[in-house]
Structure 1
């Protein structure tokens, strides 16, 4: 299959992200989804499948506790004017991306070791140096025919050595082996270049905003 529209891809991303992070089951609502995450700085998140000024204003005015996040698939300049006081954009430009999944292979560079393992619906890939130091990682959550790539990271000292490509190949192959045919992920601007090199394409811009603590108390 392939995603028929952005809303379908968003739904797959929300479901897989919740599995990947061990969050609560996403609760659907008229404008998208709400997910209880349960972390001190990320208590919950709202993911909007449709975005308009009235909806954004209501959500951000009603949510006054710190650690509430909102994700919307529009550029920051569209979302920012609609935010209530206390909310701000977090991070730089981001993107929702997708790709077909299939058997994939990448050579492990000399001096590195790759290990993968699966637990509770999530497959993790870890790359370490020969002496055991961390070099790169990533994980993928399979939910039926779709899978969500998450938390891909390469240590700065080990970049430009093909480790990101290696991790992506390991994750894609593992997910395809479990029956997933389409992948989706949320990418930073820096990560986008890697993902595009291995066949992923941008579906929509992605903006993250967060409710900060009240400076008055």
Structure 2
């Protein structure tokens, strides 16, 4: 495994996610990290690497402003009873996943983009983005990866429903993994939805822990 323990993967995920989203530097604490995100429905987030009922209750009872998120590495059915009134689960069940980029990075020359599509890839401030569009420019698929030292975090991978089951998601993952290894990353980590888990497992990623989100008040669903 690329990480010796889950806490190490959590730290890598928090720092890479923050870089990917342009959020503030994570602030560490005894129970995890706090990140200022700065969006109207996602003002900040707490990521708990050692979640238990007492910690979750203390945080959620103290926070009363809307748009504050909490991420914990426990299943939804475990987290939900711990939440204070005004908090709700967001995004359903999720997974923290990891991979050795030496294993999942294509050793072959990447094949051509399927007929009818084109892919653009660019890197800025350590974040590489891959965008797949149709021949006439319509959105088909995308993803990005943030490199922080020897680790990289895959983020916001999605394929338009009209273009699924054509290998576009796997092609995006291959290109992002290749870009990360070119920048010196050796281990990858990501937060996955149940739908995304199948894609990631097909490309060599493995589940480390459950991942569940909650939000105070209304907010967007965002892994």
2: CA distance, partners of 1:106 / 1:76: 39
Indicate if the aligned counterparts of 1:138 and 1:153 stay in contact, CA closer than 8 A: yes
Superposition TM-score, scaled by structure 1 size: 0.96
Residue 196, structure 1, aligned to residue 201, structure 2: yes
2: CA distance, partners of 1:119 / 1:91: 29
Q: CA deviation at 1:107?
A: 3.7
Q: SS of the counterpart of 1:97?
A: strand
Q: Tell me which residue corresponds to 1:126.
A: 131
Corresponding residue pairs, total: 213
Structure 1 residue ranges, 4+ long, deviating more than 6 angstroms after superposition? none
1: CA distance, partners of 2:22 / 2:137: 27
What aligned pairs does 1:128-167 form with structure 2 within 5 A after superposition? 128-167=133-172
Q: Tell me which residue corresponds to 2:179.
A: 174
2: CA distance, partners of 1:52 / 1:24: 25
Q: Tell me which residue corresponds to 1:60.
A: 60
Q: CA deviation at 1:133?
A: 1.1
What are the ranges of 5 or more consecutive residues in structure 2 without an aligned counterpart? 219-223
The CA RMSD measured in Å over matched residues stands at: 1.0
What aligned pairs does 1:105-120 form with structure 2 within 5 A after superposition? 105-120=110-125
What are the ranges of 5 or more consecutive residues in structure 1 without an aligned counterpart? none
Indicate if the aligned counterparts of 1:106 and 1:165 stay in contact, CA closer than 8 A: no
Superposition TM-score, scaled by structure 2 size: 0.93
Q: Tell me which residue corresponds to 1:45.
A: 45
